[in-house]
Chains A and B, each alone.
Chain A
Amino acid sequence: MDFFILTLAIPIVSGLLLTVVGERAWAPNLNIIASLGTFLASALLTAEIVANGPRFAFGEVFFIDSLNVFFVALTAFVGLTTSIFSGPYMRNEQEHGKLTRPRLRLYKSMFQLFMFTMLVALTTNNLGILWVAMEAATLTTVLLVSLYRTAASLEAAWKYFILCGVGIAQALFGTILLYFAAERVLGETGNALLWTHLVDVKGQLEPTIMALSFIFLLVGYGTKVGLAPLHNWLPDAHAEGPTPVSAVLSGLLLNVALYAILRCKVLADGAIPNGFAGNLMMGFGLLTLVVAAFFLSRQKDIKRMFAYSSIEHMGLITFAFGMGGPVANFAGLLHMTLHSLTKSAIFFTVGHAAQKTGTQLMEDIRGLIKVNPLIGWGLMLGTLAILGMPPFGVFASEFMILTHAMKHHPWATPILLLALGVAFAAIFGRVQPMVFGETHAKRLPHAPAITPVFVHLAIVLMLGLYIPPYLTRWFHEAARMLG
């Protein structure tokens, strides 16, 4: 039983199946079962990799090692919790008249196909296929962002498509340049795009071409990560799409895009001397952090605010990976995990809150604690987690990044502290009145699925207090590989 094949096969088969049967009453359950199956397969795959070490699949087309198997498991897990959440949520939306049954069918099938493309992007060894999968991931979600067919969502989806399309074209050019540099060393076989081969010869790749290639790749995939100044699509897409879509975009797609950059960074570091790649990433990361923090404070829509928070955290993670070295890489990987879990949890609660109150404007949402204590507390705790309060795990990773920056790049520390501080004040100041205070929200026809939120938050809390040894060992291995 090849767990890897199962991990890939379940999403695509269920995705195609759901295009046909997506309107039946039991379709949401099929969605959940499929996601559960994917998760179990990925968990078993992870166990296998931990025990036996990295492996290939389908010849050398796929390569699973310590770096990506973990992301595969995380993706499958968040996919599972999102599908559990989206069952009652989408039914509520349907009751409110915002969605029709054909659109729900589109949603479910695209969701599974999106999972498939992300898993392919994470596990492929061929950098060209990585590009294809990233583009496919964008394509599957474009129609999802515009699911509500309002003017604002159409605009958001259009911006998403165009900006990410342009960005990904840059990434393609970067890939072509990379292939060009690789061909000179590895010859004109198909191996020149395989990452495992490239890593072996990375010292021999031509520096000028690799530098140019990395710039294009960083700008291209960075658009999908949400790095400034190419982040314009992100707040709109996350705010106007349905909440489950926002959750997976924030929690998963950003991670996958960053993973792509990391793979390329390993090659660039080997080819280009004096940390050019790292410096570039640090610069973009800091810029993103500052831009996001300041835009954050001006937001009135809750989803947009948390979208900017995603951008901010991605900037921080990029900065961490830019610094490089075992500690910073470890912190970056940990932060990626925690951010995924926390942000998706927040989006779940925000989605429910918005559904209850019928609006996404923060001034109109009040007193969530009174209406539904679970949602209220979920939002409060999630916000505290994402802002980096101990004992949640985000505190640990942010602390590591800050101390590492203080030791090696002291000039960046005031900027980091300023940005994090501004974000903290802004978010906390907005969330506090939302959770407490008077309210007029109404009951929902279907009881919300609040369990995923607390499961995520519990994991984040646990990781803040205690990281299991296999996880630590794992992160260390991946961090070491990143150089």
Chain B
Amino acid sequence: MNAVIPFSTQLINLFASVILLLAFAMLAQRRVLTLINLFALQGLTLCLSTLVVAVTTGQTHLYWSAGLTLVLKALLLPWILHRLVRRLEVKWDVESLIKVPTTMLVGIALVIVAFNVALPISQLSSTVSRGTLGIALATVMLAFLMMITRSKAIPQVVGFLAMENGLFLAATSATYGMPMVVELGIALDVLVGAIILGVFFFQIREQFDSLDIRHLEKLKER
């Protein structure tokens, strides 16, 4: 049987598993509003996980990190997305380019790949949360899968943001987060990116009267 795992590591593992579960749930989700709520939930779990690491190791900059994650990913970005959905009057069910069960199977395969890739790195790390690097990489890959199998614009954007969530988890698990200035820069980038996307969606909708990505596939090799 395994040795006794400290309670903080158990909590971190639990939160990481919830994040992975949410990534899968987002992959299988059909409704846009639920998708955004799941993303907000993922951000919240991420914040809690960072808090546990902060409390365990006593690194003050992680408290700020957790706060930033909470404000940006659990509150601000979902709010922006909700507003977008409301103003664009988007309520349809999300269509998927390949069927949901196939997507899930591919997702499982990616999770296995991610765990394998992350294993040598985890073994070298000395942080309290190093087991979660594999989960972080898996979340990134699942978000990437979500981006390429969706045919509407907003789920692609949510996939993009979820990828960033996975990267943040990777940063906190392998090292205790990046230096604060870098994290602030990344947060700023993400926020500006979301705003630009919002503007962009209006342009797309104006041109095509719909946010179906398949309209945007006409530029083939001529």
The residues of A with any CB-CB pair to B shorter than 8 Å are 126, 128-129, 131-132, 135-136, 139, 142-143, 146, 149-152, 154-159, 161-162, 165-166, 169, 172-173, 175-177, 179-180, 183-184, 188, 190, 192-193, 206, 208-209, 212, 236, 240, 295, 298-301, 304
Q: Give the docked Cα–Cα distance between A190 and B177 (Å).
A: 11
A129: which of B185, B192, B203, B217 is its contact (CB, 8 Å)?
B185
Please give me the 9 A-B residue pairs with the lowest Cβ-Cβ distance, nearest first.
A128-B182, A132-B185, A155-B216, A190-B179, A180-B174, A135-B189, A176-B171, A180-B175, A169-B163
Q: Give the docked Cα–Cα distance between A173 and B178 (Å).
A: 11
22 A-B pairs with C-beta separation under 8 A: A126-B179, A128-B178, A128-B186, A132-B189, A135-B193, A143-B196, A150-B207, A151-B207, A154-B204, A157-B200, A158-B153, A159-B216, A161-B197, A162-B147, A165-B160, A179-B178, A184-B124, A193-B178, A193-B179, A298-B221, A299-B222, A304-B222
Which chain A residue shows the least CB distance to B171?
A: A176
Q: Give the docked Cα–Cα distance between A126 and B170 (Å).
A: 19
Chain A residues lying within 8 Å of B140, measured Cβ to Cβ, are 169, 173
B175: which of A152, A179, A240 is its contact (CB, 8 Å)?
A179
Given known pairs A139-B193, A143-B200, the reply for A172 and B221 (CB within 8 Å) is: no
Q: How many Å from the CB of A174 to the closest CB on chain B?
A: 10
Contact present for A173 and B219 (CB under 8 Å): no
A149: which of B182, B203, B218 is its contact (CB, 8 Å)?
B203
Q: Does B34 count as interface, using CB distance less than 8 angstroms?
A: no
Which chain B residue shows the least CB distance to A298?
A: B221
**Chain B interfacial residues counted at CB < 8 A:** 47
A173: which of B147, B170, B192 is its contact (CB, 8 Å)?
B170
Q: Give the docked Cα–Cα distance between A146 and B199 (Å).
A: 11
Contact present for B181 and A126 (CB under 8 Å): yes
Q: Give the docked Cα–Cα distance between A304 and B219 (Å).
A: 11
Chain A residues lying within 8 Å of B186, measured Cβ to Cβ, are 128, 131-132, 135, 172
Q: Does B80 count as interface, using CB distance less than 8 angstroms?
A: no
Contact present for A183 and B167 (CB under 8 Å): no
Given contacts A131-B185, A149-B206, A161-B197, 6 further A-B contacts (CB under 8 A): A157-B200, A158-B216, A165-B160, A169-B160, A183-B175, A193-B178
Chain B residues lying within 8 Å of A126, measured Cβ to Cβ, are 179, 181-182
* Interface hits, B139-197 → A, CB 8 Å: 140, 144, 147, 153, 156, 160, 163-164, 167, 170-171, 174-176, 178-179, 181-182, 185-186, 188-189, 192-193, 196-197
Chain B residues lying within 8 Å of A190, measured Cβ to Cβ, are 179, 181
Q: Give the docked Cα–Cα distance between A156 and B218 (Å).
A: 10
Contact present for A166 and B160 (CB under 8 Å): yes
A236: which of B124, B125, B176, B219 is its contact (CB, 8 Å)?
B219
Q: Give the docked Cα–Cα distance between A190 and B160 (Å).
A: 28
Chain A residues lying within 8 Å of B147, measured Cβ to Cβ, are 162, 166
Chain A residues lying within 8 Å of B203, measured Cβ to Cβ, are 146, 149, 154
Contact present for A162 and B218 (CB under 8 Å): no
Given known pairs A128-B178, A172-B186, the reply for A151 and B200 (CB within 8 Å) is: no
Q: How many Å from the CB of B145 to the closest CB on chain A?
A: 11
A206: which of B124, B160, B199, B219 is its contact (CB, 8 Å)?
B124
Which chain B residue shows the least CB distance to A188?
A: B176
